[in-house]
Amino acid sequence: MNVEHLLNAFTTIDATPGGVWGICRNFMIHLFWHKARLVILGPKIEALADDHPSKPECLFRLSQLFYKVGSYAECKRLLTHALKLSREQRDDHQLAQMLGELSLVNFWGCSSKEGIQQAKEASEIYGQLGGTVEQAASLAFLAQFLLGDNQLAAAEEATSRAIDLLQGREEQFLVCHRHQVLGIIYH
């Protein structure tokens, strides 16, 4: 709590893109993995100017905390805002990451069509960026969403593409998991 209060004070006096906002982002990552809870920094993050370079990433990390504590509507709201800012800032890697997370929230929140579209877009962006493993992960999520939506042929295609992308890489566990998904699809 003391760290959080110090960060809260420092954000008042330091609005530079790196510095304290990078530390806030890392603090929220730590909370996500070790002690998920909401933070008092939320209002300050949302009050940042939309053109502040750290805002999309901080909104993303804040949304993850909301997800972890079960506030899915708030998670989706923050992710949607972060996605919009990532598009405006033309940060394709961040955009793909936001799309992937939002696809999960939408799919599990019963917006499967929206989740499927976002997973497809994330996969395409990772493909353009040359992020082979990330693209394969997006395709794996897409395949599971399509399977859940009973689109078996499309799920098979997405899974096969993910397997093809991972061939020849040090990703045997991922390849094995994708083959398992193929087995589920065929079953």
Average confidence (pLDDT) over 39-46? 81
Cα–Cα distance between 41 and 158 in angstroms, integer?
39
Question: How sure is the predictor about 66, in pLDDT bands with cuts at 50, 70 and 90?
Answer: confident
- Spell out the long-range contacts of 51-54 with Cβ–Cβ below 8 A and sequence spacing 24 or more: 51/88, 51/89, 52/15, 52/17, 52/21, 53/17, 53/89, 54/17, 54/18, 54/21, 54/22, 54/24, 54/25
Average confidence (pLDDT) over 7-36? 71
Query: 92-108 as b/e, with b when 16 or more CB fall inside 10 Å?
Result: eebbbbbbbbbbbbbbe
- Percent pLDDT > 90 in the chain is 18
Could you read off the pLDDT of 153-165 as tens digits, one per residue?
999 999 999 999 8
Question: How sure is the predictor about 26, in pLDDT bands with cuts at 50, 70 and 90?
Answer: confident
Q: What is the pLDDT of residue 44?
A: 83
Top-confidence range, 3-7, 61-65, 152-156, 181-185? 152-156
Q: What is the pLDDT of residue 84?
A: 92
| CA-based radius of gyration for the chain | 18
69 or 13, higher pLDDT: 69
pTM, to two decimals: 0.75
Residue 132: phi and psi, rounded to 5, are -60, -50
Other CB atoms closer than 10 Å to residue 167's CB: what's the count? 9
Axis-axis angle for helices 132-148, 112-129 (nearest 10): 160
Question: How sure is the predictor about 43, in pLDDT bands with cuts at 50, 70 and 90?
Answer: confident
